[in-house]
Structure 1
Amino acid sequence: MTEKKRLSPQERERQIVDEAIRFFAEQGFGGQTRELAKRLGITQPLLYRYFSSKEALIERVYQDVFVGRWKENWQSLITDRSRPIRQRLLRLYGEYAEVIDNREWVRILILAGMKGESLNRRYLDQVREKIIEPLCREMRFEAGLPDPDTLPLDEAERDLVWSFHGTFIYRGIRKWVYGIPVMEDSDTIVETAVTAFLEGAPAALSEILADRLD
């Protein structure tokens, strides 16, 4: 009988985190650490030697799944007016679509939202601050409309940009939650979505702001 390899503390911690990501993606955050420990083949007390509480483990999952895959250059990419807006969006959403085309990412985001977990709100607040709001500002500029510092953003503007952004998340939901086949050519998906958004957004913004521009 082959003796089971003894893992180093670093290897054991990594094993716990990786399995926790898979576990919570299946069970949601209502899943019990007792069951997680069983799946890992360790005792629950050993699991708690690495993570002092279930909340600490969930926080680590959030850091790995969401924070660790976020690219800090996305916000500056959106606002770089030395490059055409189409070029900026193609690059940004090409990268974003690749990051979120992941079973655990999509399922944890959705299950956390359904359970009212704060990590879902934290992630979406980051998206709003670093992608949605800057893109709203850039679309005002592209449409030749007043800067938000002069004319504050309207919620309908944010909804317009959220709907565009949500195109890519909904693709992941269809694939990883509903099990519906999706087009796998992400470059084509991004190009089509960006084209439709840029063609329709300026007219939509003018209509949204019409009453406030009089």
Structure 2
Amino acid sequence: MSQEVVPVAPYSRRERLRIATIQEIKDVAREFLVQDGPGNVTIRAIAREMGMTAPAVYRYFSSRDELIQAIRRDIYGEMGGHLRAVIEALPHREAAGELLASGRALRRWAIDHPHEFGLILGPWGPHQGGQAGQAERDASWAFGSLFADLISELWRTRGFPVPRPDSLDPELVAQLTALRQEYQVDLPVEALAMMVRCWVRLYGVISMDALGHLAFVLPNGDAFFERELQDLAAVLGIEEFYPAGQPVAH
């Protein structure tokens, strides 16, 4: 028996205008962000640029914080889409190689988009709790799940060195268990601890490099990053997937 296809009503003209206006507000805010950082993103400045009044903009976003949260969600999606495109373009699909390629791609994206990176994973990133904080956690995990999935696949297909479960602090075990349950991560606690360790290390070197904190000692951070990535590959037992002289992904 064929299923009846329920037609989807098209957006009304008013709805299309609202969607277009919301997108324009975010586009203008993004331009201000790229030009001068988040301090330049204000409702009044956006309204002036769009030829609107500030109260009119507030009809679409109730506060600057709500607008910033919407931009963060867009950036997480954009960044995740870029990394997935890099992975899909690889000639050989294997979790270890995809993981290393993702690290390179994330660094390249962060260097090319320092203000956007700073807004989600850098000094201007979210630090609030409560309901808004949970929404930010969910948005960031939508991106972070890419790395979690690769680590899970690596664990399933090859395994990697992990600490003994009884060597982990009980409080850490409790937090990792909660993370595993909340986001349904298919890893034992000891492997999840290694995943977090690797992410913190990768994020740390990318963040310092992309935001200019290495420039006073390293004018070009390519070689340093590659050395750290190679060492990370050794920690995970996938050294053979790190080819010497591998170019940094763009």
TM-score over 0.5 for the pair: yes
Give the counterpart letter for 1:112 in structure 2: G
TM-score relative to the length of structure 1 = 0.60
In the TM superposition, residue 196 of structure 1 has moved relative to its aligned partner by: 0.8
Q: Which has the higher helix share?
A: 1
In the TM superposition, residue 197 of structure 1 has moved relative to its aligned partner by: 0.6
1:191 aligns with 2:243: no
Find the counterpart in structure 1 of residue 29 from structure 2.
20
Find the counterpart in structure 2 of residue 33 from structure 1.
43
Among candidates 93, 100, 106, match of residue 90 of structure 1: 100
The secondary structure found in structure 2 opposite 1:112 is coil
Find the counterpart in structure 1 of residue 189 from structure 2.
153
Could you say which structure has the greater relative contact order, defined with CA pairs below 8 angstroms and 6 or more residues apart?
Answer: 1
CA distance in 2, matches of 1:151, 1:12: 43
Find the counterpart in structure 1 of residue 117 from structure 2.
106
Flag as ranges the 4+ runs of structure 1 deviating above 4 A: 9-15, 38-41, 75-78, 82-86, 143-146, 178-186
TM-score relative to the length of structure 2 = 0.53
Contact 1:100–1:172 (Cα < 8 Å) also in 2:
yes
Contact 1:65–1:105 (Cα < 8 Å) also in 2:
yes
Per-residue Cα deviation, 1:25-59 (whole angstroms, up to 9, x for no partner)? 4229xx6523543465642134245x243365334
The secondary structure found in structure 2 opposite 1:111 is coil
The secondary structure found in structure 2 opposite 1:53 is coil
Find the counterpart in structure 2 of residue 211 from structure 1.
none
Find the counterpart in structure 2 of residue 43 from structure 1.
53
CA distance in 1, matches of 2:233, 2:62: 46
CA distance in 2, matches of 1:23, 1:123: 22
Find the counterpart in structure 2 of residue 121 from structure 1.
137
In the TM superposition, residue 83 of structure 1 has moved relative to its aligned partner by: 4.6
CA distance in 1, matches of 2:160, 2:58: 56
Gaps of 5+ in 1: 1-8, 204-214
CA distance in 1, matches of 2:50, 2:230: 46
CA distance in 2, matches of 1:136, 1:40: 46
In the TM superposition, residue 180 of structure 1 has moved relative to its aligned partner by: 4.2
The secondary structure found in structure 2 opposite 1:114 is coil
Contact 1:75–1:130 (Cα < 8 Å) also in 2:
no
1:53 aligns with 2:62: yes
Q: Mean Cα displacement is larger for which, 9-18 or 84-93? A: 9-18
User: Structure 1 residues 189, 42: closer, same or farther in 2, change over 3 A?
Assistant: farther
Q: Percent identity?
A: 14
Per-residue Cα deviation, 1:154-183 (whole angstroms, up to 9, x for no partner)? 25313322223313233223x2xx594555
Q: Mean Cα displacement is larger for which, 90-99 or 17-26? A: 17-26
